């Protein structure tokens, strides 16, 4: 028997980490790979590349409810977050930055850097047991010294537990004092309705590989009237906010992916929510003491985050991987040392509880058979993980 024959069918349940490219994105990307032309050049090839970029910008703007000139292309979500946080902080010249304690590290690490190197006064706001921002804590923090607040950053939806944040309340409080709001919408786009203009935020982060587009391309959507200090200086591309040769093929793929994701969002929401609910119910039937994490009502449709008492999340992950099922612990790793999820800790979970959780995230390729495979495997996997924990404790 060949190794290939022994390899179990792979069940991919980690779409929150990255999701397969859609056919439309692949076609758009590959269709430009053999075309030569720098979009900044004035000759015919350059003008053709520029036309592809600007048409892509228009398609993204239409899908997001913003103006084309508000779409600033970046290398992905991390760069866009850094550009928003550092660029707005430097442009505003006010010391205080407010954010939630459950932000992605692409937000938390730049904030830490600004505090350490630029004198920023960063305040991480508390969340409730479901991972939702405590709005009154935000209001109190703002009103303590509103003139000193240069920026508020609150993610649209949490990448680990899927909880949706009350952005409308955040914008309401911020607008009373003229404070700009940035939101990391990397997980939200294509999963829930995202309308930049209607949301009232001033800057929004998105990335291609979370919506079926290419790796290494994303955007910061930022209102034209908002001043942003660039991180990278050079040719002055992208409104002089983000210099660098524009990646025409990747941008074409990004536009196609965003367009498909937004058009399919309503139908996919219902389909994925039904699959997720089935997954959670059946796992809890097999493992009765499993505990779902996150807001049961205000959440992303494809996120299922569960705690398995008496288990190490890393052990569960590897045991499932051996069965051909791919998921995530949702926890950060620093220099190869596993750490308890800062999101779960902020939600009031203990270290042990935070380490015993898994995230199953569904996407456009997920089918019922994937859920069936997980449910069939999870019982024995949990038993093995618990037995291993008991043996380690006895040794």
Residues 6+ apart with CB under 8 A from 186: 77, 104, 159, 205, 206, 207, 210, 218
Q: Round the CA-based radius of gyration of the chain to a whole number and report it.
A: 22
The terminus-to-terminus CA distance of the chain in angstroms comes to: 38
Report the C-alpha gap between 109 and 82 in whole angstroms. Answer: 9
Give the residue numbers annotated as catalytic, written as ranges.
333
DSSP 161: T
**Containing H/E element for 32?**
helix 23-33
* Pair of tokens at residue 149: 């607040």
Cβ contact 249:33 at 8 Å: yes
Cβ contact 273:66 at 8 Å: no
CA triple 163-168-172, angle to 5 deg: 140
In the block, tokens 């995202």 appear at 194
Of 40, 61, 60, which Cα lies nearest the Cα of 51?
40
Report the C-alpha gap between 34 and 21 in whole angstroms. Answer: 19
Report the C-alpha gap between 253 and 22 in whole angstroms. Answer: 9
Sign of CA dihedral 263, 266, 269, 270: negative
* Pair of tokens at residue 91: 């442009």
Report the C-alpha gap between 111 and 393 in whole angstroms. Answer: 39
Cβ contact 267:273 at 8 Å: no
By CB neighbour count within 10 A (0-12 exposed, 13-18 middle, 19+ buried), where does 107 fall? buried
């Amino acid at each position: 028997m060949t190794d290939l024959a022994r390899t179990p069918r792979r069940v991919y349940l980690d779409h929150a980490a990255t999701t397969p490219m859609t056919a439309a994105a692949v076609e758009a990307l590959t269709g430009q790979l053999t075309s030569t032309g720098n979009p900044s050049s004035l000759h015919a090839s350059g003008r053709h590349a520029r036309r592809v970029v600007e048409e892509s910008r228009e398609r993204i703007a239409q899908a997001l409810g913003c103006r084309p000139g508000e779409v600033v292309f970046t290398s992905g979500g991390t760069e866009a977050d850094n550009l928003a946080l550092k660029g707005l902080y430097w442009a505003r010249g006010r010391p205080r930055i407010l954010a939630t304690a459950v932000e992605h590290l692409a937000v938390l690490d730049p904030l830490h850097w600004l505090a350490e190197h630029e004198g920023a006064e960063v305040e991480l706001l508390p969340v409730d047991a479901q991972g939702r921002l405590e709005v009154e804590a935000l209001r109190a923090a703002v009103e303590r010294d509103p003139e000193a607040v240069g920026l508020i950053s609150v993610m649209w939806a949490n990448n680990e537990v899927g909880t949706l944040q009350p952005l409308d309340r955040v914008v309401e409080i911020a607008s009373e004092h003229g404070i700009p709001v940035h939101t990391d919408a990397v997980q939200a786009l294509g999963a829930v309705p995202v309308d930049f203009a209607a949301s009232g935020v001033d800057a929004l982060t998105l990335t291609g590989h979370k919506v079926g587009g290419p790796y290494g391309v994303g955007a910061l959507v930022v209102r034209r009237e908002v001043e942003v200090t660039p991180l990278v200086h050079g040719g002055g591309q992208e409104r002089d906010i983000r210099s660098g040769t524009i990646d025409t093929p990747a941008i074409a793929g990004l536009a196609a992916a965003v367009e498909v994701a937004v058009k399919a969002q309503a139908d996919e929401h219902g389909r994925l929510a039904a699959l997720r609910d089935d997954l959670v119910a059946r796992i809890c039937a097999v493992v009765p003491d499993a505990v779902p994490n996150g807001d049961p009502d205000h959440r992303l449709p494809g996120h299922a985050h569960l705690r398995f008492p008496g288990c190490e999340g890393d052990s569960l992950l590897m045991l499932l991987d051996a069965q051909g099922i791919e998921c995530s612990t949702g926890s950060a790793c620093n220099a190869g040392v596993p750490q308890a999820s800062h999101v779960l800790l902020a939600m009031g979970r203990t270290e042990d509880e935070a380490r015993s959780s898994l995230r199953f995230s569904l996407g456009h390729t997920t089918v019922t058979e994937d859920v069936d495979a997980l449910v069939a495997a999870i019982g024995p996997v949990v038993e093995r993980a618990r037995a291993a924990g008991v043996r380690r404790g006895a040794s």
